[in-house]
Amino acid sequence: MQITVIGCGYVGLVTAACFAEMGNRVACVDTSAERVEALHRGISPIFEPGIEALLQTNHAAGRLTFSSQLNPVLRNSEVVFIAVGTPSAADGSADVSQILEVAAQLGGALESPTIVVCKSTAPVGTACRVQSILDQHCQRRGVNWRHSVVSNPEFLKEGAAIDDFMRPDRIILGAEDASAERTMRRLYEPFVRNHDRILCMPRRAAEMTKYAANTFLATKISFINEVANLCESLGVDVEEVRKGIGADPRIGHHFIYAGCGYGGSCFPKDIRAMLHMAQEREMQLPILQAVEARNQAQKTWPMRMLRKLYSEGVAGKTVAIWGLAFKPGTDDIRDAPSRVLIEGLLDLGARVQAFDPIASENIAKAYPEAVARGQLRLFSDPYAVLNDADALALITEWKQFRQPDFALMARLMREPVIVDGRNQYDPAVLGTFGFRHVGVGRVPMDSPAPLLRKVV
């Protein structure tokens, strides 16, 4: 099939590369000539394991092309995907202006009936707005055919996006005409050959499905974080509770890991957008408001623990951080909990020494002044950050932090203290190396007289 994907960002490139890999001819279009030029040289503008190789091989095979010009590539395209950004506007709503702009361009440029797919996460009703824009153009041009707009949200996890696309749990198709549905089913058939995983529904339901999925996952996380807080003060280990409740298949083991909060480009943005959709209808969504509030508070957990540990204050202390990305497997620092900790420590006059396998550069760009005055130092070796550190805060659970050399760590640090924001370590094991360990919702090491209560 001949496809066009508009927007060479995260979603657009993964979509384009995976469809090309299945043998389709895919044209990627982006307004950034710089981005397109980099893609021609085989360089991916996004970090995602496996994406560069997929882009390069399909480009070399002639199935994947890149362009900054929309009109020439549209000819013969049966399906056009819109995968442009929908950032949060100041009022929390999803800003869909880029989608609507692309729709207007398509309306003026498409010469034959085409399936236009909204891939970007956008509020309920956006696909209908795209349909109206296209219909108006058809009317103005006096043609007697219509384009079909389909809503087809993505469910890609950063760091696992290619696998998620290639082996989807489900494909959601919001299609309102049978011929568009047939074509979309044909396009996705190679990805779901052995299982019937395509769910067809009205466009508005498809749009809502995406928001409900992400906000439900966020709810699970905030729920367990709330339980963890109670566990902390009751002297109960939330890790025991997690295993206990996860064994019930209705609850399940996924997304109930207590930690220092969720980040990333999706959960926070989608919650805000959903709250805004409700607000527009003069409705409240108290559960989601609480989810968001709990997460904001949870991101301050590492800082709160450090302040409790150092009742004399953290000013002048050196705090080491392991993990800056909002989760392992990505260099994305959007809404990352690490940023709340860094900002808090900088404000209070502490020194920060941080390590992340790939996100350090983005953090350096976000805090150039702190880097310039030497208050924030980024290292390329995880052990180097521990030199003379008064505490280590583990914020992102990269695999390389799972089994570190605790003896070496204890020797390097001024104070062997670990604030474990992802519950990666066994407090008993750490105790044998002389560490004080504080986990999220865990029984403090020197329980029953909990460490934290003692130093408050």
* Exposure string over 296-332, b if 16+ CB within 10 A, otherwise e: eebbbbbbebbbbbbeeebeebbbbbbbbbbbbbbbb
Residue 357 or 416 with smaller CB distance to ligand UDX:
357
158 touches ligand UDX by CB under 6 A? yes
**Choice from 156, 305, 319, 394 touching ligand UDX (CB under 6 A):** 156
256 touches ligand UDX by CB under 6 A? yes
Q: Report the alpha-carbon distance of residue 409 to residue 416 in Å, rounded.
A: 8
Q: Report the alpha-carbon distance of residue 445 to residue 436 in Å, rounded.
A: 7
In the complex, minimum distance from the CB of residue 411 to ligand UDX, in angstroms, rounded to a whole number: 30
Other Cβ atoms within 10 Å of 166 Cβ, number: 15
90, 52 Cβ separation under 8 angstroms: no
Determine whether the annotation assigns residue 321 to a binding site: no
Other Cβ atoms within 10 Å of 172 Cβ, number: 21
In the complex, minimum distance from the CB of residue 217 to ligand UDX, in angstroms, rounded to a whole number: 6
**Choice from 147, 294, 327, 442 touching ligand UDX (CB under 6 A):** 327
DSSP 279-333: HHTT---HHHHHHHHHHHHHHTHHHHHHHHH-TT-STT-EEEEE--SSSTT----
155 touches ligand UDX by CB under 6 A? yes
Determine whether the annotation assigns residue 119 to a binding site: no
In the complex, minimum distance from the CB of residue 192 to ligand UDX, in angstroms, rounded to a whole number: 17
With CB under 6 A as the contact rule, which of the stretches 95-103, 190-198, 250-258, 356-364 interacts with ligand UDX?
250-258
Coil vs helix vs strand at 351: strand
With CB under 6 A as the contact rule, which of the stretches 33-41, 201-209, 256-264, 383-391 interacts with ligand UDX?
256-264
Other Cβ atoms within 10 Å of 434 Cβ, number: 10
**Choice from 10, 66, 326, 398 touching ligand UDX (CB under 6 A):** 326
223 touches ligand UDX by CB under 6 A? no
Site string for ligand UDX, 67-96 (x = CB under 6 A): ------------------------------
In the complex, minimum distance from the CB of residue 51 to ligand UDX, in angstroms, rounded to a whole number: 14
Identify residue 412 by its one-letter amino acid code. Answer: L
- Token pair listed for 311: 């009742």
263 touches ligand UDX by CB under 6 A? yes
Paired residues of 150 in beta bridges: 117
> Per this entry, what is the length of the chain?
456
- In which residue are the tokens 């900088």 written? 346
78: nearest Cα among 113, 106, 30 = 113
Residue 7 or 416 with smaller CB distance to ligand UDX:
7
With CB under 6 A as the contact rule, which of the stretches 141-149, 156-164, 347-355, 376-384 interacts with ligand UDX?
156-164
257 touches ligand UDX by CB under 6 A? yes
255 touches ligand UDX by CB under 6 A? yes
# chain residues binding ligand UDX, by CB under 6 A: 19
**Choice from 259, 268, 302, 421 touching ligand UDX (CB under 6 A):** 259
Strand-strand pairing, 79-82 and 64-67: unpaired
Ramachandran category for residue 23: left, alpha or beta (phi over 0 → left; psi -120 to 50 → alpha): left
In the complex, minimum distance from the CB of residue 256 to ligand UDX, in angstroms, rounded to a whole number: 6
As separate numbers, helices (DSSP H) first and strands (DSSP E) second, the chain gives 19, 14
266 catalytic? Reply is yes
121, 153 Cβ separation under 8 angstroms: yes
Residue 323 or 444 with smaller CB distance to ligand UDX:
323
60: nearest Cα among 88, 32, 82, 40 = 40
Indicate which residues carry an active-site annotation. 266
Please enumerate, by residue number, every residue annotated as part of a binding site.
30, 35, 86, 121, 155-158, 210, 255-259, 263, 269, 327, 334
Please enumerate, by residue number, every residue annotated as part of a binding site for substrate.
155-158, 210, 255-259, 263, 327
Which residues are near ligand UDX by CB under 6 A?
Answer: 154-158, 214, 217, 221, 255-257, 259, 262-264, 266-267, 326-327
Please enumerate, by residue number, every residue annotated as part of a binding site for NAD(+).
30, 35, 86, 121, 158, 269, 334
